[in-house]
Amino acid sequence: MARLTRRTLLAAAALPAAPALAQAWPTRTVRIIVPFGLGGSADIAARFLAEPLAQAFGHPFVVENRPGGGGTIGADAVAKAPPDGHTLLLMSNTHTANETLLPNRPYVLMRDLAPVAFINIAHHVLVVHPSVPARTLPEFIAWARANPGRVDYASSGPGTPYHIAAEVFRARAGIEITHIPFRGSNEARTAILAGQVQMMFDAIPTMAEQARAGRVRALGTTGPERSPLLPEAPAIAETLPGYEASIWLGLMAPAGTPAAVVERLNAEVNRIMSLPATREAQLRMGALPNPMTVAAFDAYLRQDIQRQAEAIRLARIQAD
C-alpha cells in the first residue's frame, strides 16, 4: 500500500473546495480589463459580453480600459490580480506577438495567465489616401517600389495586428514603407483621412464606409478570399499568394484561477457567441465567432505565439 504523505492528504482534503468555489463564484463585481483604448474591437467585444455575462452569473461585469505599453500594462495588471475569477483580460493577438516583440515585458503570457475562451476573428483592409497615384494593389506595389521611402503608413501602435500586417506586406511585396505608430486606431484613421500618411491597414467595416465615400481607396483585404463586406476589393492573396492577416480576440484570467470557474466562463462565452443573433451581429462587424474549449484555446494560443514569431522574423519587426 502506497504511503500517504502530508502533501497527498492535504491535496485530498482540498478536492471538494474547487467545485464549491465554482458554485459560489462570482461573489462580487467581475472586472474585464481591456488593455486598449475606447472604441476599438477589444473594447467593443468586452462591452458586448459584459451584459449577458452579468445576467448569466447574477453579478455585474464591468469593463475597465487600461491602454498603454502595447497592451502590456493591462495584461500585467491581470497577471498580478488574485486568481479568484473576479479579474479577466480581454486580449488579442497583440499579446501573442508581444511574446517575441517585447522580451522585457513584466509577465509571460502562458505562465502568468490562463486561457478562458476564444471570442472572434476578423480580417483587415489595406487602404490608401486618394492622393496616391495607384488604383489597384499591383499598381501601388509598382509605385512604392519606384519610390522607396516615400510611403508612410499608420497603425494603432507597435506590435498590434495592423502593424504586423503592414510589415509582413512590406516584406512580401518587396517595398520600403515607414511605420508611423499612433496611440490608437482613431488617431491613425484621422491621419490617413487627413492625408498625413499614405497607407493603413484597418477594420473592414470601419473603412468600407470611408472607401465608398471616396475618402480612402481600398486596395485589398487580408482574408484568404474576398470579404462579403467589401466584395469590390480583391484579396491581397490574389496578388501575393498565401498572404493573410487577422485580428482575433480572447479572454484570459490570472494563472491559478480555479479550473471550474474557467470552465463555467468558457461555457457561457461559447453559448453567447453561438447565438444566431450574436453571429449575425458579429458578421455585420466583419468578425466571425469561433467557440473553442479551454484546451483548444490553450493550443491555439501556443500555436499563434509561434506564428507571430515567424512573421516578426520574416518582416524583421522591432519594437519602436
115 and 128 in a single domain? The answer is no
Residue 126: strand pairing partners: 201, 220
CATH of the domain at 178: 3.40.190.10
Please check whether residue 10 lies inside any domain of the structure: no
Residue 80: which residues within 8 A CB-CB, separation 6 or more?
107, 254
79 and 47 in a single domain? The answer is yes
* Per-residue model confidence (pLDDT) at position 22: 60
Q: Which three cell numbers stand for residue 261?
A: 470557474
Please check whether residue 16 lies inside any domain of the structure: no
Of 100, 41, 59, give the one whose Cα is nearest residue 318.
100
Give the residue from 213, 238, 263 where a domain finishes: 238
Please check whether residue 178 lies inside any domain of the structure: yes
Assign residue 107 a region: left if phi > 0, alpha if psi is -120 to 50, beta otherwise? beta
Please check whether residue 311 lies inside any domain of the structure: yes
* Per-residue model confidence (pLDDT) at position 70: 84
154 and 252 in a single domain? The answer is no
Q: What are phi and psi of 219, to 5 degrees?
A: -100, -20
Type of residue found at 268 = E
76 and 166 in a single domain? The answer is no
- Tell the residue number behind the cell numbers 497607407, with chain if given: 199
Residues 113 and 252: beta-carbon distance below 8 Å: yes
* Per-residue model confidence (pLDDT) at position 178: 96
Share of the chain above pLDDT 70, in %: 92
Q: Which three cell numbers stand for residue 124?
A: 483587415
pTM of the predicted protein model: 0.84
294 and 218 in a single domain? The answer is no
Least confident segment among 27-31, 193-197, 257-261, 281-285: 281-285
116 and 257 in a single domain? The answer is yes
Least confident segment among 55-69, 183-197, 306-320: 306-320
Number of domains in the chain: 2
82 and 162 in a single domain? The answer is no
DSSP 8-state class, residue 92 = E
212 and 310 in a single domain? The answer is no
258 and 179 in a single domain? The answer is no
Please check whether residue 69 lies inside any domain of the structure: yes
Over residues 172-219, the pLDDT tens digits come to: 999 999 999 988 888 999 999 999 999 999 999 889 999 999 999 999
β-bridge pairing 113-128 and 246-254:
antiparallel
Cα–Cα distances in angstroms (integers) from residue 21 to residues 10, 166, 262, 270, in the given order? 17, 45, 11, 21
Residue 14 clears pLDDT 80, i.e. is over it: no
109 and 145 in a single domain? The answer is no
CATH of the domain at 62: 3.40.190.150
Of 260, 292, 254, 296, give the one whose Cα is nearest residue 114.
254
Q: Which three cell numbers stand for residue 61?
A: 461585469
- The parent domain of residue 219 ranges over 123-238
Q: Measure the CA dihedral 30/259/300/81, to 10°.
A: 40
139 and 225 in a single domain? The answer is yes
* Per-residue model confidence (pLDDT) at position 219: 98
Please check whether residue 23 lies inside any domain of the structure: no
Residue 3 clears pLDDT 50, i.e. is over it: no
208 and 281 in a single domain? The answer is no
Q: What string of DSSP letters covers 279-313?
A: HHHHHHTTEEE----HHHHHHHHHHHHHHHHHHHH
Give the residue from 238, 263, 279 where a domain finishes: 238
